Chains A and B, each alone.
With several copies, the nearest count.
Chain A
Amino acid sequence: MVVHEQSALENVVLRFAGDSGDGMQLTGERFTSTSALFGNDLATLPDFPAEIRAPAGTLGGVSSFQIQIASYDITTAGDSPHVLVAMNPAGLRANVHLLLPGAMIIVNGDSFDERSIAKAGYRTNPLEDGSLDSFNVTSVPMTTLTTEACRDAGVKPRDAERSKNFFALGLILWTFSRSLEATLEWIERHFANRPTVAEANRRALHAGYHFGETSEMYAPRFDVAPAPYPSGDYTNITGSAALSWGFIAAAHRSGLPLFLGSYPITPASDILHELSGRKEFGVITFQAEDEIAAVGAAIGAAYGGSIGLTTTSSPGLDLKSEAIGLAVSLELPLIIVDVQRAGPSTGMPTKVEQADLSHALYGRHGEAPLPVLAALTPSDCFSAAIEAVRIAVTYRTPVVLLSDAALANATEPWRIPELDELPVIDAHFANGPNARTDDGAPAFHPFVRDASTLARPWAPPGVAGLEHRVGGLEKADELGHVSYDGANHERMTELRAAKVAGVASSYPALVVDDPQGDATVLVVGWGGTYGSLAAGVALARQRGAHVAHLQLRYLNPLPRDLGAILATYERVLVPELNLGQLARLLRAEYLIDVASLHKMRGAPFTSTEIADAIDAAIREKP
Chain B
Amino acid sequence: MTTQFVSVTTRKDWSSDQEVRWCPGCGDYSILAALQLLLPELNIRREETVFVSGIGCAARFPYYMNTYGMHTIHGRAPAIATGLAVTRPDLNVFVVSGDGDALSIGGNHLIHALRRNANLTILLFNNRIYGLTKGQYSPTSERGKTTKSTPQGSLERPLDPISLALGAGATFVARTHDMDRSHMQAVFRRAHEHHGTSLVEIYQNCNVFNDGAFSDINSKESRAANLINLRHGEPIRFGANDEFGVVGDDTGALAITTLGPENESRVVVHDEHLANPARAFALARLMVSDHEPTPMGVFRDVDEPEYGDQISLQAAASREARGEADLSKLLRSRGSWHVD
Taking Cβ atoms with an 8 Å cutoff, the residues of A that contact B are 33, 36-37, 39, 51-56, 58, 60, 229-237, 241, 245, 248-249, 252, 257, 259, 261, 263-266, 269, 272-273, 276-282, 284-294, 296-306, 308, 315, 322-323, 326, 330, 345-346, 415-417, 419, 460-473, 481-482
- Interface pair B332/A289, CB less than 8 Å apart: no
Contact with A along B264-283 (1 / 0, CB 8 A): 00000000000000000000
Contact with A along B66-99 (1 / 0, CB 8 A): 1111111111100111111111101100000000
Contact with A along B95-133 (1 / 0, CB 8 A): 000000000110111001000000000000000001011
Least Cβ–Cβ distance between A419 and chain B, in angstroms: 6
Q: Is the interface of A mostly helix, strand, loop or mixed?
A: mixed
Q: Give 13 A-B pairs besides A263-B104, A297-B79 with Cβ atoms closer than 8 angstroms.
A: A234-B338, A248-B327, A280-B325, A286-B82, A287-B137, A289-B109, A296-B76, A297-B83, A298-B83, A300-B84, A461-B48, A469-B16, A469-B69
User: Chain B contacts of A294 at CB under 8 A?
Assistant: 79
Cα separation A53 to B21 with both chains bound (whole Å): 6
Cα separation A290 to B110 with both chains bound (whole Å): 12
Contact of A297 among B22, B60, B82 (CB under 8 A): B82
- Interface pair A236/B334, CB less than 8 Å apart: yes
Cα separation A39 to B336 with both chains bound (whole Å): 11
Cα separation A607 to B298 with both chains bound (whole Å): 62
User: Chain A contacts of B69 at CB under 8 A?
Assistant: 467-471
Given known contacts A235-B332, A289-B108, A419-B327, A273 and B83 CB-to-CB distance under 8 angstroms: no
- Interface pair B318/A234, CB less than 8 Å apart: no
Least Cβ–Cβ distance between A194 and chain B, in angstroms: 17
Q: Is B42 an interface residue (CB 8 A)?
A: no
User: Chain B contacts of A261 at CB under 8 A?
Assistant: 83
Cα separation A272 to B148 with both chains bound (whole Å): 8
- Interface pair A297/B80, CB less than 8 Å apart: yes
- Interface pair A51/B134, CB less than 8 Å apart: yes
User: Chain A contacts of B48 at CB under 8 A?
Assistant: 461-462
Taking Cβ atoms with an 8 Å cutoff, the residues of B that contact A are 16, 18-24, 45-50, 52, 55, 57, 60, 62-63, 65-76, 79-88, 90-91, 104-105, 107-109, 112, 130, 132-134, 136-137, 139, 148-152, 208, 311, 314-315, 317-319, 322-325, 327-328, 330-332, 334-340
User: Chain A contacts of B340 at CB under 8 A?
Assistant: 231
Among A279, A292, A330, the one with the most B-chain Cβ atoms within 10 Å of its Cβ is A279
User: Chain B contacts of A419 at CB under 8 A?
Assistant: 327-328
- Interface pair B133/A269, CB less than 8 Å apart: yes
Given known contacts A266-B134, A269-B149, A304 and B47 CB-to-CB distance under 8 angstroms: no
Contact of B63 among A264, A300, A482 (CB under 8 A): A482
A418, closest chain B residue (CB): B328
Cα separation A278 to B21 with both chains bound (whole Å): 35
Cα separation A93 to B79 with both chains bound (whole Å): 42
User: Chain B contacts of A306 at CB under 8 A?
Assistant: 87
B65, closest chain A residue (CB): A469
Given known contacts A280-B323, A303-B84, A326 and B73 CB-to-CB distance under 8 angstroms: yes
- Interface pair A280/B324, CB less than 8 Å apart: yes
